[in-house]
Structure 1
Amino acid sequence: MIRVENVTQVFASRGGSVHALDGIDLHVREREFVTLIGRSGCGKSTLLRLMAGLLTPTQGRVQVAGELVTAPRPDVSVMFQRPALLPWRSVVSNVMLPVEICGGDKKQHRDRAHELLELVGLTGFANKYPHELSGGMQQRVSLCRSLVTRPKVMLMDEPFSALDALTRTEMSEELQRIQMELATTIVFVTHSIEEAIVLADRVVVLSPHPGRLRETVEIEIPRPRTLGLDTHAADVARLSSRLHALLAAPPRATTDLRMVNQ
């Protein structure tokens, strides 16, 4: 579904070039849930923006469904850390915003919006406004907005990091359930190792400065999973220890930094 081929990203700055990503090769399969983890500054969000078509790679290419990504696509949704709901619009109007931007059958999508609100436990809140909702409820509305156009791919950049621990657990469980029901391909950026394990089919570990793909770890734990204690706690602990070790290891030495466009 998503192919990242030999992608390098360099940003120009007053002090010289900032080498964000170097030679990234990654294939995300259809209906797969992949999480990206790594230290701050390793290029996780940059990689997500390249997949979304919000950035053009300095070198290499990104494809979605066999097509080169050169700009944002209507079949790829992006969800950020903050819900960014428009305060003057009702819940259902916020969910419908992508339909108004991209076009489509408003009646059909409005029915879809109400179905999604019911799916995430917001039945009866369609005509409320953002200020009447809790942070977790607002993020649920943002999730519905990301899903309303039935995207092939969802790209999620730390969407639960600002939530309290209990709400974060609930949202993680909700997202697993939705992904299993809707079979959407998801790439999810997080700083939380436990969250990465609970959500993912595979965890992709990036090393920093510049970001390189250090290792991909398969998560073979039956779903549904939870951040709390359950029958798979030992497996989560084992994988968590492995990922901690990968993140703590120093970057691999290289003599080829491929500093392009300097």
Structure 2
Amino acid sequence: MITIDAVSQTFKGRSGPVEAIRDISLTIGEGEFVTVIGRSGCGKSTLLRMIAGLLKPTAGSVTVAGSPVREPRRDVAMVFQRPALLPWRSVEDNVMLPVEIFGWRKSEYRPRAEHLLEMTGLSGFRKRLPHELSGGMQQRVSLCRALIQSPKVMLMDEPFSALDALTREELAVELQRIHMDLGTTIVFVTHSIQEAVLLADRVAVLSSRPGHLRRVVEIPIPRPRTFGHNAHMEQVAGISAELHTLLLSDDHLQASPQT
């Protein structure tokens, strides 16, 4: 579904070029859920923007469903850290926004909007305005807005990081259920090791800047998964410890003198 082939990205800085990502190659299968973790500034969001077609790689290429990504695509949706809802539009109208932007028939998509709102527990809030909702509910609306176009790929850039711990956990479980129901390919950027293990089929670990792919860790834990007590707690703890060690060892490598 997604092929990232030897991708690098260098930005122009005030004091010279800044290398954000170096030579990343990764293939993500159809319906797969991949999380990307790494230290701040390692290029996680930059990688997501290149997959979305919002940023062209300095080197290498990105393809989605066999087609080169050169610009934003209708079959690729993105969810950001902030929900960015239009404050004067109701919940339902915010969800329907992509339909209006792309010029599709509202009558064809209204039932899907109603289904998505019901799926995320928002059917009773369809006429509410964003300021009448909690942060978690607003992010649910943002998720519905991304799903209204039935995207082949959904890119999520730390969508739960601004939420309190309990709401974040609830939404992570909710997203897992939606992914199991719809089978959308998802690439999810997070700082949270717990979140990465809960959600992912595989976790891609990036090094500190310039970000390169240190390792891809498989998560062979049956779904559905929860943060609470379950039969796989020992396995979750082991994988979490492996990811933690990878991130810490990256710090040591960065601090070591070059030979």
Structure-2-length-normalised TM-score: 0.96
The aligned counterpart of 2:36 is: 36
TM-superposition CA deviations, 1:51-99 (whole Å, max 9, x none): 0000000000000000000000000000000111000000000001111
Residues 73-84 of structure 1 mapped to structure 2, 5 A cutoff:
73-84=73-84
Matched, 1:108 2:117: no
Separation of aligned partners in 1, 2:103 and 2:191: 35
Misfit runs of 4+, over 6 Å: none
Separation of aligned partners in 1, 2:230 and 2:168: 17
Q: Which letter does structure 1 place at the counterpart of 2:18?
A: V
The aligned counterpart of 1:9 is: 9
- How much does 1:230 deviate? 1.8
Matched, 1:146 2:146: yes
Q: Which letter does structure 1 place at the counterpart of 2:26?
A: L
The aligned counterpart of 1:258 is: none
Separation of aligned partners in 1, 2:105 and 2:238: 48
Q: Which letter does structure 2 place at the counterpart of 1:117?
A: L
My pick for the range that moved more, 229-238 or 114-123, is 229-238
- How much does 1:166 deviate? 1.0
Seq. identity, %: 64
Partner SS for 2:121: coil
More helix by share: 2
Separation of aligned partners in 1, 2:35 and 2:19: 22
Partner SS for 2:104: coil
Partner SS for 2:110: helix
TM-superposition CA deviations, 1:84-136 (whole Å, max 9, x none): 10000000000011111122221111111010000001111111100110111
Separation of aligned partners in 1, 2:63 and 2:18: 24
Residues 67-216 of structure 1 mapped to structure 2, 5 A cutoff:
67-216=67-216
Separation of aligned partners in 1, 2:70 and 2:236: 38
The aligned counterpart of 2:19 is: 19
Partner SS for 2:54: coil
Matched, 1:219 2:219: yes
Q: Aligned residue pairs: how many?
A: 255
Separation of aligned partners in 2, 1:192 and 1:231: 22
Partner SS for 1:8: strand
My pick for the range that moved more, 238-247 or 96-105, is 96-105
Q: Which letter does structure 2 place at the counterpart of 1:175?
A: L
Separation of aligned partners in 1, 2:147 and 2:164: 23
Partner SS for 2:30: coil
TM-superposition CA deviations, 1:13-37 (whole Å, max 9, x none): 1110100000000101000000000
My pick for the range that moved more, 178-187 or 99-108, is 99-108
- How much does 1:228 deviate? 2.2
Partner SS for 1:124: helix
TM-superposition CA deviations, 1:212-243 (whole Å, max 9, x none): 00000000000000122222111111001000
Separation of aligned partners in 2, 1:102 and 1:11: 31
TM-superposition CA deviations, 1:163-217 (whole Å, max 9, x none): 1111111101110110010010000000000100000000000001200000000
Separation of aligned partners in 1, 2:146 and 2:208: 29
Separation of aligned partners in 2, 1:201 and 1:134: 30
